[in-house]
């Protein structure tokens, strides 16, 4: 199952699930850290430590295609963010940025949008990924087609075997790179990225170019993911300026595409503390863990993870929630950002 992560230090699952990182959430967290210092909570989750350690600057995220900020409602943080979004991205319709928040509410927000286009569109073709036939893009192997221009858009940085190589697809922004690395995964996403980037520019001369008889096929990609970072929610924040607060939400939405026309990413993230914590309740309604353990022992003598109702006495099904009255809907301005649907014809 594909998932989005907030930090590059996220381990790659042994089951090799899809994983995507985008810097929008880290940008929001960086603004929090710049304002209040490293964010501490009780207990401190590993994700907070990882975010506190991340360093994002203009060399990673160009301010021209990002918006981020953090502050209290009474300081006009929402108004400032909306004004900057409107100036940089007039067509954006932010989904996570509220219309207003209470004066004592704490909000951190990040938005990122960048689209890269190839000067010559690659050919659409079929290919194989693992054991599946998939839609891909690359060369059409036609002597009368556009393959010479397409090959000129491909830089071979390293090649070890047919299963181990690093390519760059040259797009319209010389300051940005589209890298495709078929490499062995490391323990974390960060380690895998570091391994691939270390192999840039290993080849020189003619070895950096695709020869006319060398095939190219890259799977088309399109994803739209939302991630809620539960480890950061509900834990009391430490420090004088944040005493008595806790994050009520911490989430990110990422959309990414890679196809014959180019590549693009749009992401939005929010971390918010909007008021006093809700009244405590202890209704076990989600998957849970049961342990039987001797007092003072380091491990239990029984551990059960309960994911389904297979062990329970089921009385029936919960009635679905009532539909809202006619005319009710999302507040004005809410909805997916512009461009988050299918791309224009000819770019997918």
Q: From the CA atom positions of the chain, what is the Rg in Å? A: 24
What DSSP line would sit under 123-160, residue for residue?
A: EEEEEEETTEEEEEEE----TTSSHHHHHHTEEEEEEE
Whether the per-residue pLDDT at 2 is higher than 60: the answer is: yes
Interval 80-100 mean pLDDT? 95
- pLDDT for res 94: 93
pLDDT digits (tens, 9 = 90+) for 28-73: 999 999 999 999 999 999 999 999 999 887 788 999 999 999 999 9
Residues 6 or more apart in contact with residue 280 via CB below 8 angstroms: none
Q: Rounded to the nearest 5°, which phi and psi values hold at 77?
A: -60, -40
3-state helix, strand, coil in the chain (%, to 5): 20, 30, 50
Whether the per-residue pLDDT at 332 is higher than 60: the answer is: no
Distance CA 348, CA 343 (A): 6
- The pLDDT mean for the chain works out to 89
- pLDDT for res 324: 54
Whether the per-residue pLDDT at 103 is higher than 50: the answer is: yes
Question: Strand 19-21 and strand 3-5: pairing?
Answer: parallel
- pLDDT for res 14: 63
Query: Which residue bears the tokens 């919960």?
Result: 318
Whether the Cβ atoms of residue 248 and residue 236 lie closer than 8 Å to each other: no
Distance CA 79, CA 97 (A): 10
Whether the Cβ atoms of residue 41 and residue 246 lie closer than 8 Å to each other: yes
Do you know the residue count of the chain?
A: 348
Could you count the other beta carbons within 10 Å of the beta carbon of residue 85? 20
Distance CA 229, CA 161 (A): 38
**In this predicted structure, which of 3-12, 213-222, 315-324 has the lowest mean pLDDT?**
315-324
Q: Find, among 49, 27, 39, 103, the residue nearest to 71 by Cα.
A: 103
- 161 conformational bin, left if phi > 0, alpha if psi -120 to 50, beta if neither: beta
Whether the per-residue pLDDT at 122 is higher than 70: the answer is: yes
- pLDDT for res 81: 97
pTM of the model: 0.81
């Amino acid at each position: 199952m594909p998932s989005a992560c907030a930090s590059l230090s996220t381990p790659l699952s042994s089951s090799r699930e899809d994983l995507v990182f985008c810097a929008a959430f880290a940008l929001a967290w960086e603004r929090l850290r710049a304002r209040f210092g490293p964010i501490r909570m009780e207990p401190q989750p590993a994700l907070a430590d990882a975010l506190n350690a991340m360093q994002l600057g203009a060399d990673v995220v160009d301010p021209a295609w990002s918006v981020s900020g953090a502050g209290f409602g009474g300081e006009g943080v929402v108004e400032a963010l909306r004004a900057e979004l409107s100036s940089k991205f007039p067509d954006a319709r932010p989904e996570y940025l509220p219309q207003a928040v209470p004066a004592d509410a704490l909000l951190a927000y990040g938005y990122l949008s960048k689209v890269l286009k190839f000067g010559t569109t690659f050919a659409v073709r079929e290919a194989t990924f693992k054991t599946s036939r998939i839609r891909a893009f690359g060369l059409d192997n036609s002597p009368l087609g556009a393959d010479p221009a397409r090959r000129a858009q491909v830089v071979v940085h390293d090649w070890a075997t047919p299963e181990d190589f690093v390519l760059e697809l040259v797009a319209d922004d010389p300051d940005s790179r589209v890298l495709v690395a078929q490499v062995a995964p490391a323990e974390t996403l960060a380690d895998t990225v570091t391994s691939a980037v270390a192999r840039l520019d290993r080849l020189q001369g003619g070895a950096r170019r695709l020869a006319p008889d060398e095939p190219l096929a890259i799977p088309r990609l399109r994803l739209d993911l939302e991630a809620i970072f539960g480890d950061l929610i509900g834990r009391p924040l430490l420090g004088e300026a944040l005493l008595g607060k806790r994050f009520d939400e911490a989430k990110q939405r990422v959309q990414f595409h890679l196809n014959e026309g180019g590549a693009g990413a749009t992401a939005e993230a929010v971390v918010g503390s909007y008021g006093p914590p809700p009244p405590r309740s202890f209704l076990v309604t989600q998957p849970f863990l049961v342990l039987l353990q001797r007092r003072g022992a380091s491990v239990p003598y029984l551990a059960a993870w309960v994911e389904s109702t297979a062990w329970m006495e089921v009385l029936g099904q919960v009635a679905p929630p009532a539909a809202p009255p006619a005319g009710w809907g999302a507040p004005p301005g809410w909805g997916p950002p512009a461009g988050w649907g299918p791309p224009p014809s000819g770019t997918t």
